Chains A and B, each alone.
Chain A
Amino acid sequence: DAKTTQPTSMDCAEGRAANLPCNHSTISGNEYVYWYRQIHSQGPQYIIHGLKNNETNEMASLIITEDRKSSTLILPHATLRDTAVYYCIVRVGPGTGANNLFFGTGTRLTVIP
């Protein structure tokens, strides 16, 4: 699986957009980019995933560069409840027999009032 690199921590003002970068320069053609987050004392929570197109759902947007070597998770209007550790995970798609997730150290996002 491709390795990901994320900043250790970031701050964001409440109500502003939070842009969390992730580098995955060794990603291969069949690997997806997934984002999860873990709010303190809770289990990890799925946010969004993508292969090569930009994706948007009710939680966030995922922007993947054309060469797929990096991506950015965007929380459009951060709230205090978005304070969490965000994990960028690169993994092959389902049906390959490899379904476990590899969590790195992630980015600790702090939303500031």
Chain B
Amino acid sequence: EVQLVESGGGLVQPGGSLRLSCAASGFTFSSYWMSWVRQAPGKGLEWVANIKQDGSEKYYVDSVKGRFTISRDNAKNSLYLQMNSLRAEDTAVYYCAREHYGDFPPFDIWGQGTMVTVSS
């Protein structure tokens, strides 16, 4: 079964750090671009970052540039998001998502999400 499972969410104080993980199974992880997408409580979806198959290209939404780092370990079939200098507005459910093949692809597989709460 094709599956993505996120972990690592929790409660953190403003200015703190957190590292999210996403474990992939059921497909050749190293063949796909991967993304993180977040959803603040009661709000819509917001793309956060993505990473190329070999990790050589990474892109971020402006609001997290310089604070968040996306990475992957293809040997462990895992995707990561290191989040530093967290702010209240980073509070959200964070989903990892697989990008389908092709140009301008859809996100065809999503994890169940992990909740990050930034609060004092």
Question: Do these two chains interact?
Answer: no
Tell me the B residues contacting A by CB distance below 8 Å: none
Tell me the A residues contacting B by CB distance below 8 Å: none
